[in-house]
């Protein structure tokens, strides 16, 4: 059973010393399991995409399916909000609208963006509360210090580090809306808990949240405070007008129903993917085998920092002789270059210049395509992407596709190369 692939997809959000342990677990599963059950369709799709990157050596297909987690949250319906006993810790919230965040405070959860968005709204005169329920996590020491020393602490900003179940239930009951700003999740149980209480949902526009909440949530995009502040202001306007999306139409499974769905996936072989190695390799920019001279990994993408140089190089994989096509996916503008090489860069198989004019706020696209041919097997195939001065780029992933059939011209060149390189 796979809950998420976050240590693989978002390695910058975890302790680097633990990443090899995580990777070894996923890789072992991919090599020895008969089937993988994921806790959402989104995770199942991510797992299948990662298989094209890791490419386990398998003789039988690896089946991938999904089911939804259960949530036995007690009495059904928003009426339970009216019967909840208010915790005295929440008395300082007053009558102001209160926006709730639930979950461990860690880099991918979006607490920093939410806090800065609320600081903007408070500066604009909005009389609203931000209520955070969650334990301190890792790699957020600066944020934790800000929360503990914030001038609005216990005025409009409230943080409960060690809330028990009663305080959590009371927090849901008191909330005007749940804010789910996580940048990556496998499921999102707080969505179910909030919907059970009839609490409106304000969530980041992630595929898994769309899968769970559907049209029963208000979605926002972007990663800067302005993006969320504007979306929260819009939600407040919709809420006052009675037009904000309501979570009451959202369904969820009990644990008995979730168990039955899992049994049907396994016994009924209701897999959505059956994977065997094929001609396509897909390497995410987050792949640990990639490195950079002038970039930084951000949200699973390799992003330029304004300096010219090599943005991405790697992943040093074994490739058999043959003809290949390669596509570079992401966003970018300006000039640069791309090549494919081996033998520590001494053997160049293809090279091209890059002239990019993609809008910074646009969707990902194919930035460049290139064909190359390997006349013999290589053990350290390397892609290099370089940027000139004033160019910028975000690389999402690279696809390399091998053409299985060789034409006569390819075979002739291959024979000539072999005869040239053969010894006496």
Whichever domain contains 387, its CATH number is 2.60.120.260
- At 82 the pLDDT is 42
- Number of domains observed in the structure of the chain: 3
**287: which 2 tokens?**
């792949």
218: exposed, middle or buried (Cβ count in 10 Å: 0-12, 13-18, 19+): buried
Note whether residue 223 is domain-resident.
yes
Structure-token match 């102001």, residue found: 96
Residue 99 located in a structural domain:
yes
One domain for residues 206 and 337:
no
Residue 227 is predicted with a pLDDT of: 96
- Which value, to the nearest 10 degrees, does the dihedral of the CA atoms of residues 394, 399, 400, 405 take? -150
> The CATH number of the domain where 133 resides is what?
3.40.50.2000
The answer to whether the CB of 402 falls within 8 A of the CB of 324 is: yes
Same domain, 271 and 361: no
Q: Any residues with CB less than 8 A from the CB of 185 and at least 6 apart, and which?
A: 4, 206, 208, 209
Q: Going residue by residue through the chain, which has 424 residues, state the pLDDT in tens, using 9 for 90 and above.
A: 999 999 999 999 999 999 999 999 999 999 999 999 999 999 999 999 999 999 999 999 999 999 999 987 654 443 344 444 567 789 999 999 999 999 999 999 999 999 999 999 999 999 999 999 999 999 999 999 999 999 999 999 999 999 998 999 999 999 999 999 999 999 999 999 999 999 999 999 999 999 999 999 999 999 999 999 999 999 999 999 999 999 999 999 999 999 999 999 999 999 999 999 999 999 999 999 999 999 999 999 999 999 999 999 999 999 999 999 999 999 999 999 999 999 999 999 999 999 998 766 668 899 999 999 999 999 999 999 999 999 999 999 999 999 976 555 544 544 444 333 333 3
Alpha carbon distance 398, 327 (integer Å): 6
Is 226 within a domain? yes
Residue 294 lies in a domain: yes
pLDDT of amino acid 363: 80
Same domain, 135 and 241: yes
Instruction: Flag whether 75 is in a domain.
Output: no
Alpha-carbon gap, residue 362 to 53, rounded angstroms: 25
How many Cβ atoms from other residues are within 10 Å of residue 224's Cβ? 10
- Count of other CB atoms within 10 angstroms of residue 299: 17
Do residues 182 and 148 both lie within one domain?
yes
What pLDDT score does 361 carry? 65
Are 338 and 393 contacting, i.e. CB atoms less than 8 angstroms apart? Answer: no
Domain boundary among 242, 275, 308: 275
1 part of a folded domain: no
On whether both 158 and 172 belong to a single domain, the answer is yes
pLDDT attached to residue 74 = 54
Q: Are residues 26 and 140 in the same domain?
A: no
Where in the sequence is the domain holding 236, given as residue range(s)?
80-252
Q: What is the pTM of this model?
A: 0.87
User: Rounded CA gap, 22 and 25, in Å?
Assistant: 5
What is the residue whose two structure tokens read 């602490």? 153
Same domain for 288 and 218: no
Three-state secondary structure readout of the chain: CECCCHHHHCHHHCCCCCHHHHHHHHHHHHHHCCEEEECCHHHHHHHHHHHHHHCCCCCCCEEEEECCCECCCCCCCCCHHHHCCCCHHHHHHCCCCEEEEECCECHHHCHHHHHHHHHHHHHCCCCCEEEEECCECCCCHHHHHHHHHCCCECCCEEEECCCCHHHHHHHHHHCCEEEECCCCCCCCHHHHHHHHCCCCEEEECCHHHHHHHCCCCEEECCCCHHHHHHHHHHHHHHHHCCCCCCHHHCCCECHHHHHHHHHHHHHCCCCCEEECCCCEEEEECCCCCCECCCEEEECCEEEECCCCEEEEEEEEEEECCEEEEEEEEEEEEEEEEEEEEECCCCEEEEEEEEEEECCCCCCCEEEEEEEEEECCCEEEEEEEEEECCCCEEEEEEEEEEEECCCCHHHHHHHHHHHHHHCCC
Cβ atoms of 177 and 238 closer than 8 Å: no
Q: Which of 275, 309, 333 is the last residue of a domain?
A: 275
Of 34, 51, 53, 65, the closest CA to residue 276 belongs to: 51
Residues 326 and 388 in one domain: yes
Phi-psi region of 408 (alpha: psi -120 to 50; beta: other; left: phi over 0): alpha
Q: Indicate if 265 and 298 belong to the same structural domain.
A: no
304 within domain boundaries = yes
Residue 180: count other Cβ atoms within 10 Å of its Cβ: 27
Clarify whether residues 89 and 202 are in a common domain.
Answer: yes
Q: Check whether residue 235 and residue 264 sit in a common domain.
A: no
Q: Confirm whether 34 is domain-assigned.
A: yes
Q: How far apart are alpha carbons 130 and 156 in whole angstroms?
A: 6
For residues 349 and 264, state if they share a domain: no
CA atoms within 13 A on the CB side of 369: 5
């Amino acid at each position: 059973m796979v809950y998420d692939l976050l240590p693989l997809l978002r390695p910058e959000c975890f302790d680097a010393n633990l990443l090899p342990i995580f990777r070894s677990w996923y890789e072992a599963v991919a090599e020895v399991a008969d089937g993988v059950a994921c806790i959402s369709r989104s995770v199942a799709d991510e797992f299948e995409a990662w298989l094209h990157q890791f490419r386990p050596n398998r003789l039988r297909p690896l089946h991938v399916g999904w089911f939804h987690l259960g949530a036995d949250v007690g009495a059904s319906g928003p009426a339970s909000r009216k019967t909840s006993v208010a915790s005295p810790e929440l008395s300082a919230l007053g009558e102001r609208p209160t926006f709730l965040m639930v979950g461990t405070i860690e880099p991918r959860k979006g607490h920093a963006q939410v806090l800065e968005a609320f600081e903007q709204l408070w500066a604009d005169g909005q009389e609203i509360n931000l209520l955070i329920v969650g334990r301190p996590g890792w790699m957020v020491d600066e944020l934790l210090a800000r929360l503990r020393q914030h001038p609005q602490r216990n005025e409009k900003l409230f943080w409960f580090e060690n809330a028990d179940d009663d305080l959590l239930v009371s927090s849901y009951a008191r909330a005007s809306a749940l804010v789910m700003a996580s940048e990556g999740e496998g499921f999102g149980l707080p969505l179910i808990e909030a919907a059970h209480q009839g609490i409106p949902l304000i969530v980041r526009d992630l595929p898994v949240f769309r899968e769970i909440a559907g049209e029963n949530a208000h979605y926002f995009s972007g990663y800067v405070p302005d993006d969320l502040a504007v979306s929260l202001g819009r939600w407040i306007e919709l809420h006052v007008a009675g037009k904000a999306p309501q979570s009451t139409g959202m369904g969820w499974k009990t644990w008995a129903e979730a168990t039955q769905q899992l049994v049907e996936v396994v016994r009924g072989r209701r897999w959505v993917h059956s994977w065997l190695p094929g001609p396509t390799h897909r390497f995410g920019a987050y792949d640990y085998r990639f490195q950079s001279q002038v970039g930084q990994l951000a949200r699973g993408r390799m992003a330029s920092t304004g300096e010219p140089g090599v943005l991405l190089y790697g992943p040093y994989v074994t490739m058999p002789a043959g003809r290949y096509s390669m596509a570079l996916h992401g966003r970018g503008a300006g000039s640069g270059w791309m090549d494919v090489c081996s033998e520590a860069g001494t053997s160049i198989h293809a090279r091209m210049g890059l002239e990019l004019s993609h809008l910074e706020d646009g969707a990902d696209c194919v930035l460049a395509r290139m064909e190359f041919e390997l006349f013999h097997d290589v053990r350290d195939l390397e892609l290099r992407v370089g940027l000139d001065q004033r160019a910028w780029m975000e690389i999402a992933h690279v696809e390399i596709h091998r053409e299985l059939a060789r034409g006569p011209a390819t075979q002739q060149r291959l024979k000539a190369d072999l005869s040239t390189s053969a010894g006496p």
